[in-house]
Amino acid sequence: MMINACIGNALKSISRSRQRFLAVALACLLVSAGFSLPVAAADAGPFDHVVEHQLKNGLKVLLLREARAPIISLQVWYRVGSRNEELGKTGISHLNEHMMFKGTKKYGPKDFSRLIQKAGGDDNAFTGRDYTAYFENGPKTELTRWLEMEADRMRNLRVSQADFDTEKKVVLEERRLRTEDDPISFLQEEVMAAAFKAHPYQWPVIGWFHDIESITREEFLQRYRQYYEPNNCTVVVVGDIEPQETLKQIELAFGAIPAGPEPPKVTALEPRQYGERRVVVHREAQFPFIMMLYHTPNWQDQDAYPLEVLARILSQGRSSRLYHNLVYKQHLALDVGADYNFDHIDPSVFTIYGQPLPGKTVEQVEAALNTEVKRLQTEQVGAKELQKVKNQAVAGFYMRLDSLFYRGMLLGKLETVAKWTLIKDFVPKIMQVTAADVQRVAKKYLVADNRNVGILSPIKTEKPKMERFKSGGQVH
C-alpha cells in the first residue's frame, strides 16, 4: 500500500503524457513483483478526448488527437462480415473486401495503393465475423486525399467481369493455402461448425470453397450496394489532427453520399447446448492437436471480464498454468493455450487447445487440460497470481495503445460490435475481478455439456508443416 501511495503522489507532479509513459513502465515492473497496479497509474485516460459525431446521412465519425508525430491512421469500418451471410453464399463479405481494391472511374485498379505508398503510407483491409475494415497509415498531409479516395470507392466501385473472375481465383487460392493445406485451421473450422448449428458464426470468414466458387458478379454488386452505405459505416481518424477541421474534411468527402436502406438485421440466436459434441479430423499432419470450445457471452456481459482474466491465468506467458504444468513440468505438450473471443456482436466461444509432444497422446493432453479447468472450478486463485494476471492485462493494454493504428482499431471495432465507450471499462473492470468471480465463471461455462471438442488425428506425411493455432479474421 505504501508503494502504491508513493507512486500515485509522484505521478501527480508530472505531465499527462509522461504519466501515460510511466504507467506502462511501472505496470511492467509490478507484474514481476506481484504488486497491485495503482488506480492513479492505470487511469491515464487515453480515450478521454474522443470526438464523436454523426453526419446527416448516418455516417458515424470518431476522432482522437495524438500529436506526438505528424502521422495519422484513417480507418473505415463497415458493419458487415461473415455474420451477415447465408449458407450457399458464405465468404462473400471477404470477397467484397478484395474487390474494393479494383478501382473506380477516377482511380484505376492499382492506383489506390500506389498513391498511398508513393506518399510514404501503407494500406490494407481485413474481414471478420462482424465487420469489414479498410485503413491507411501515414503522413497527416495525405488525410484529405485518403478521405476522398475512401468516399469514392464507397459508392463508385467498378469491377469488370474479368477482374471479378481473376480475384475470385485469388480468394480460392487463399483458402487453399490458409485452410485446406493447414490442418489446424481446418480443424478449427470443423469445430466451429459443430459448436454453432443455428448462428452464422458456424461458417468461416473466408467461406466454404464451393460457396466462393458459386458467387456471381451480380451477387457481389448487390451486396456492395446493400452494405457499403454511409449509415452502415464508421470513419475513425487517430493522430496529429485538429478534430473540428477533420470533421469538415470528412463532411466534404462523405456528406453528399445519400443514406441507403437499413441493411437486414441478423436475428439468428444459438440455442443452448445440452451435451458435449466431438469432431475428429483425419488430415496429413506431423502431430495431433486438440481444441475445446465453450459457448460464452461477449463484451457487453459482465462475465466477460472474469472470463478474460481466466484465459490469462491459463495461458498468459510462461508462468501461466497451462505452460508451466503441461509444457515445463509434465512434458506433455509442445504448445498449449487459451483464448477468449469476446469482441463480437453475438456470444462466441472460449477456446482451450494443446499439441502433444512426440510420444505423448491427445488423450493425455485432454486429461491434463481438463484437470486445469477442474482446478479453477474447485480452488480459488491465489491473491498473488490473480494480481499478476491483472497487472499483465493492464500493462499489455497500455503498451498496445502506443500504436495509433491499434487505438483506431479499438475504437472502430467496438463501435461496430457494440459501443466504443466500452474501452473505458476495460481497465477498471479487469481490476475489479475477484477470485470468486473467476471460480464462478469457470463453473458456469467450462462444463462438459457446453463443450465442443475437436481432435486432429494425423495421417503421416513426409512433408513438414508448421502447425500453430490461428484465430481471427481474414486479411487482404
What does each of the 476 residues of the chain score in pLDDT, given as a tens digit?
Answer: 323 333 333 333 333 333 333 344 434 444 444 444 444 333 447 899 999 999 999 999 999 999 999 999 999 999 999 999 999 999 999 999 999 999 999 999 889 999 999 999 999 999 999 999 999 999 999 999 999 999 999 999 999 999 999 999 999 999 999 999 999 999 999 999 999 999 999 999 999 999 999 999 999 999 999 999 999 999 999 999 999 999 999 999 999 999 999 999 999 999 999 999 999 999 999 999 999 999 999 988 999 999 999 999 999 999 999 999 999 999 999 999 999 988 899 999 999 999 999 999 999 999 999 999 999 999 999 999 999 999 999 999 999 999 999 999 999 999 999 999 999 999 999 999 999 999 999 999 999 999 999 999 999 766 555 444 444 455 55
pLDDT recorded at residue 4: 35
Domain identity same for 111 and 248 = yes
Quote the pTM value: 0.88
Domain identity same for 332 and 455 = yes
> Structural domain tally of the chain?
3
> Does some domain include residue 267?
no
Domain identity same for 124 and 243 = yes
Domain identity same for 311 and 447 = yes
97 flagged as catalytic: yes
3-state SS track over the chain: CHHHHHHHHHHHCCCHHHHHHHHHHHHHHHHHHCCCCCHHHHCCCCCCCCEEEECCCCCEEEEEECCCCCEEEEEEEECCCHHHCCCCCCCHHHHHHHHCCCCECCCCCCHHHHHHHHCCCEEEEEECCCCEEEEEEEEHHHHHHHHHHHHHHHHCECCCHHHHHHHHHHHHHHHHHHHHCCHHHHHHHHHHHHHCCCCHHHCCCCCCHHHHHHCCHHHHHHHHHHHCCHHHEEEEEEECCCHHHHHHHHHHHHCCCCCCCCCCCCCCCCCCCCCCEEEEEEEECCCCEEEEEEEECCCCCCCHHHHHHHHHHHHCCCCCHHHHHHHHHCCCEEEEEEEECCCCCCCEEEEEEEEECCCCCHHHHHHHHHHHHHHHHHCCCCHHHHHHHHHHHHHHHHHHCCCHHHHHHHHHHHHHHCCHHHHHHHHHHHHHCCHHHHHHHHHHHCCHHHEEEEEEEEECCCCCCCCCCCCCCEEC
Of 220, 254, 288, which closes a domain?
A: 254
> Does some domain include residue 266?
no
pLDDT recorded at residue 110: 86
Domain containing 32: what range? 2-42
The CATH number that applies at residue 366 is 3.30.830.10
Domain identity same for 84 and 205 = yes
Domain identity same for 245 and 285 = no
> Does some domain include residue 162?
yes
> Does some domain include residue 224?
yes
Domain identity same for 400 and 335 = yes
Domain identity same for 25 and 100 = no
From the list 97, 190, 308, 467, the catalytic residue is 97
